[in-house]
Chains A and B, each alone.
Chain A
């Protein structure tokens, strides 16, 4: 336990961050010019951190596997970003945002971090507006808000269904400004394959130029990992095809503890799987639950008829529909948090009420919203006694203005018009709350190795609320890490340039080359995707929306066996010294094959249900999660010891001084 010092400052919750900022060491501007920082990943957290660090005067090198920093997967976030601005005057405050986030995370996050996040949330909006991020506005010229799941206020800022894109382009433009000044050197189409430690401190990385295949050494005084989540361990997820755990996992193997790997968010509103060819899943923003009502048929025979194509959903009368979220959770209705909504969908589908061919889909229905908006619009447009058709047309126009791009996306994929027939949705892997363990300063257990954004574990506990990922990424990147890293670097002002022609770098490079060669040498007869799909199936079946001890034990063994087969039998055409997309994938899948096992091990050890982690053995009589605060009120942080099954658990006890632990209820 000694190793896991969270370094949370003392004092009252609301003063901790200010006090900490006042007390930590700073690096003077002249010295910053002599300090190099590597930032891996250029999404919201990495891009924002790189821009701010460069602006402060550090020399920054950024790395991303995409062809441009602008393409990091933060770009795909749709719905919005939370901030406790209280522009709507509905009683919001940093405390309330803090409270909602801790409660939403099922009391498995660190109070001080979350409070800091809520505090900084207001700055983010100011910052982004100053950068030219075109948030949605009202007619009076002020910023508009919408609501998201799990909260009772309207605090989500948005830019249509492309909020992540606009925020990322804001961070990218801040990076561009620094690239233009020569303070950031951007290494695009480069993938970090290892972190290099010198005397126990992170001092650089080994990266591969994905175009030429060249293995490069980069030295720096500190390394920031902002490489996103590991949802792709499930093969099918809403993550980008290239999203991977390699950077974090390589750091884990070098000494960074991995926290709560089993905390994964399954997002309730995704487009259902259509067949074996499926390469990824597409999210339909949570904002749709503002207006869409979720239901399945009330009677099994109707569900069966719908699956067989004999009945259309629109033919089902109101009383024959089961709006199960409204029924089970009257207080929050369709806006319950994601984990609750996902499990409820699975419960209905498992009970035989699923509505697509595979029986794994529920309806998200906008007809009520269309009617409501249509009537309102008719009134405000001065139409007296409008007919049904006019109301529907007007209502569809309003819905289109709000969600047009999402509806279009749905129609392109599913080939059905969601204005006329309800959308079909099903939960899918979306976000990982777990990640590298970090202290209050966002430093991992490797000195000098920092971790920000989705890649760390810090703020969302066992379940993340909607529109909070963007908030965390930007808060970490713009406002937290640039301060806290200075405290560490203040001791490095006399170190001088980090040489890369040293033994540590020689060894790290040799390791990387060895691993690549090992993968190429297998010369088996199965493609990388074959293994990735198999891993994904194990994960989804046994470590998915609900888990049990038996399944998790099986998963551990099956993944270990699959990993063995992978190294013996993977086939990678082409060589190492050229662009080789299969080799890139293989390196990533190799790490997923280790992470998956640790994931299952973590899930097995946590004998409680909380947030996204639902253990079938631990539930209430009416099927709600049964948390065990007495035994599991801690962060499970794993130390690498060779094989994932040998990982050693370190606990960080979670102290709740400002929030009373309660059973999470949305009823």
Chain B
């Protein structure tokens, strides 16, 4: 396969970036998208140029490190996968591929395609936990039975990998899907109910402070989410927030 890559290059956070064209050939369908970028980087290094910087780590779709806006979609055209699981067989010989960093004011570019997603960490730190000591002196795990459907819903919300595709896909760069997934996980479990009121208020406050946009229910986040996190979580968070505001 021969391709033309249009890649965003930016030296550091303060410099101005631009698109650079890279023609590339010899790409096979069995390669992952990141392996294709590895090939490009190897060529750049061989020419003595700086390789394209992009975030990646586990390369099996679970760590949430990889990002990239590929032809206008986070994690590219395939569904329910991350960029590292995107395979080149999704593209055709002769295609032009535009590769940009995830764009959001709350996700400033660090270098090239790498962005700073620490805003997500701060949202979690604001209340994305259950305040239980880790000393091990808790009750037996089976003391509180949990309805299977609720446990499954909590798991499905907890499957979020914090990659930021929801923000990248949203026309408003809203972080509602991310925040609501964590709020939902705990709201659904009896252990998490105890602090539910304060948790949702704190996490939403932090989310707003970070400069994400507002949710306008377009549903783009749900479609692009590599883990299929449902919009129901956003509704749940809205509900939790309204109830919490009335109470607290």
Question: Can you show 18 pairs from A to B with CB atoms below 8 A apart?
Answer: A67-B116, A75-B58, A75-B63, A127-B132, A129-B138, A131-B134, A132-B192, A134-B151, A142-B145, A160-B159, A165-B62, A165-B161, A176-B125, A240-B59, A412-B87, A579-B110, A579-B114, A581-B51
The answer to the question of B12 belonging to the interface, with a C-beta cut-off of 8 Å to chain A, is: yes
A315 sits at the interface (CB 8 A):
no
Q: Are A138 and B148 in contact (CB under 8 A)?
A: yes
Assuming A174-B134, A177-B131, A571-B45, what are 6 further A-B pairs, CB within 8 angstroms? A66-B63, A137-B148, A176-B124, A211-B111, A241-B57, A279-B34
Q: Per-residue 0/1 for A459-486: is the Cβ within 8 Å of any B Cβ (1 yes, 0 no)?
A: 0000000000000000000110000000
Chain A interface residue count: which class? 35 or more
| Interface check B214, CB cutoff 8 A | no
B155 touches A413 (CB 8 A): no
With contacts A141-B145, A240-B59, A277-B35 taken as known, whether A126 is within 8 angstroms of B136 at the C-beta atoms is yes
- Is A130 touching B132 in the complex (CB atoms < 8 A)? yes
In the assembled complex, the CB of B166 is this many whole angstroms from the nearest CB of chain A, namely: 16
Q: Are A413 and B65 in contact (CB under 8 A)?
A: no
B135 and A126 contacting across the interface, CB-CB below 8 Å:
no
Q: Are B128 and A176 in contact (CB under 8 A)?
A: yes
Nearest Cβ distance between residue A130 and chain B, in whole angstroms? 4
CB distance from B78 to the nearest CB of A (A): 8
B45/A130 in contact, CB under 8 A: no
A574 x B50 contact (CB < 8 A): yes
Q: Which residues of B contact A412 (CB under 8 A)?
A: 78, 81, 85, 87
Complexed CA–CA distance, A128 and B129 (Å): 12
Residues of B within 8 A of A413 (CB): 32, 85, 87
B223 at the interface (CB under 8 A from A): no
B60 touches A76 (CB 8 A): yes
| Residues on B with beta carbons closer than 8 Å to the beta carbon of A180 | 125-127
Assess whether B139 is interfacial by the CB under 8 Å rule: yes
Distance from A398 Cβ to chain B, minimum over Cβ atoms (Å): 15
User: A190 at interface (Cβ–Cβ under 8 A)?
Assistant: no
Closest chain B residue to A166 by CB distance? B158
Q: Does A560 contact B (CB under 8 A)?
A: no
> Does A136 make an interface contact (CB < 8 A)?
yes
Residue of A nearest to B114 (CB): A579
Residue of B nearest to A128 (CB): B141
A157 CB → nearest B CB, Å: 8
Q: What residues of chain A lie closer than 8 Å to B220, measured between beta carbons? A: none
Confirm or deny: B55 has a beta carbon within 8 angstroms of a beta carbon on chain A. Answer: yes
Query: Contact between A129 and B128 (Cβ–Cβ < 8 Å)?
Result: no
Instruction: Kindly state whether residue A172 has any CB partner on chain B within 8 Å.
Output: yes
Query: What's the minimum C-beta distance from B35 to chain A, rounded to whole angstroms?
Result: 5
Size range of the chain B interface in the assembly: 35 or more
Q: Is B39 an interface residue (CB 8 A)?
A: yes
Q: Hey, which chain A residues are within 8 Å of B151, CB to CB?
A: 134-137, 141
Q: Are A277 and B39 in contact (CB under 8 A)?
A: yes
* Residue in B38, B46, B132 whose beta carbon sits within 8 Å of that of A279 in the complex: B38
Q: Which of B98-106, B183-191, B229-237 contacts A (4 or more CB under 8 A)?
A: B183-191
**A211 contact from B45, B59, B110, Cβ within 8 A:** B110
| Chain B residues within 8 Å of A, Cβ to Cβ | 11-12, 28-32, 34-35, 38-39, 42, 44-46, 48-51, 53, 55-65, 78, 80-81, 85, 87, 89, 110-111, 114, 116-118, 120-121, 124-136, 138-142, 145-148, 151-152, 154-155, 158-159, 161-162, 185-186, 189, 191-192
Kindly state whether residue A37 has any CB partner on chain B within 8 Å.
no
Across-interface contacts of A408 in B (CB, < 8 A): 80
Please name all residues of chain A whose beta carbon is closer than 8 Å to the beta carbon of B12 when the two chains form the complex. Answer: 578-579
Distance in Å: Cβ of B112 to nearest Cβ of chain A = 9
Using A141-B147, A277-B28 as known contacts, say yes or no to A130 and B129 having CB atoms under 8 A apart. no
B142 neighbours in A (Cβ, 8 Å)? 87, 142-143
Q: How far is the CB of B127 from chain A (nearest CB, A)?
A: 8
A582 is an interface residue with CB less than 8 A from chain B: yes
On whether A129 and B141 interact (CB within 8 A), knowing A571-B48, A573-B51, the answer reads: yes
- Using known A-B contacts A66-B57, A67-B118, A159-B155, determine if residue A127 contacts B129 with beta carbons closer than 8 Å: no
Q: Nearest 7 pairs between A and B by C-beta? A: A141-B145, A173-B129, A134-B155, A123-B136, A130-B138, A129-B141, A134-B154
The CA of A530 and the CA of B158, in the complex, are separated in Å by 39
- Contact A71 B158, CB 8 Å, known A211-B110, A279-B34: no
Chain B residues in 8 Å Cβ range of A69 = 121
Q: Is A409 an interface residue (CB 8 A)?
A: yes
Please determine whether A283 and B60 come into contact, CB atoms closer than 8 angstroms. Answer: yes
A339 to chain B, nearest CB (A): 22
Give the distance in Å from the alpha carbon of A66 to the alpha carbon of B120 in the complex. 14
Assess the B53–A579 pair: CB atoms within 8 A. Answer: yes
Residues of A contacting B126 with CB < 8 Å? Answer: 180
> With A and B bound together, what is the CA distance between A517 and B179 in angstroms?
43
A279–B50 alpha-carbon span in the complex (Å):
20
**A125 in complex: contacting residue of B53, B61, B141, CB < 8 Å:** B141
Contacts of A151-195 to chain B: CB distance below 8 A:
159-160, 162, 164-166, 169, 172-174, 176-177, 179-180, 186, 188
A197 at the interface (CB under 8 A from B): no
User: How far, in angstroms, from A127 to B124 measured CA to CA in the complex?
Assistant: 20
A52 part of interface (Cβ distance < 8 Å): yes
Cross-chain contact A280 with B59 (CB below 8 angstroms): yes
* Cα distance A581–B53 in the bound complex, in angstroms: 7
Separation in Å of the B128 CB from the closest CB of chain A? 6
In the complex, A52→B114 CA distance in Å?
32
- Pair B129/A240 contact, Cβ less than 8 Å: no
A569 to chain B, nearest CB (A): 13
Name the B residues within 8 Å of A93 (CB-CB).
Answer: none
B58 → chain A, closest Cβ, in Å?
Answer: 4
Check B38–A240 contact: CB distance below 8 A: no
In the complex, the answer to whether B124 meets A173 with C-beta atoms within 8 Å is yes
Question: What does the 1/0 interface line of A100-135 toward B look like (CB < 8 Å)?
Answer: 000000000000000000001001111111111011
CB distance from A358 to the nearest CB of B (A): 12
A275 contacts B by Cβ under 8 Å: yes
> Among the listed A240, A578, A582, which residue makes an inter-chain contact with B45, where contact means beta carbons less than 8 Å apart?
A582
Q: Which listed residue, A172, A188, A409, touches B124 by the CB 8 Å rule?
A: A172
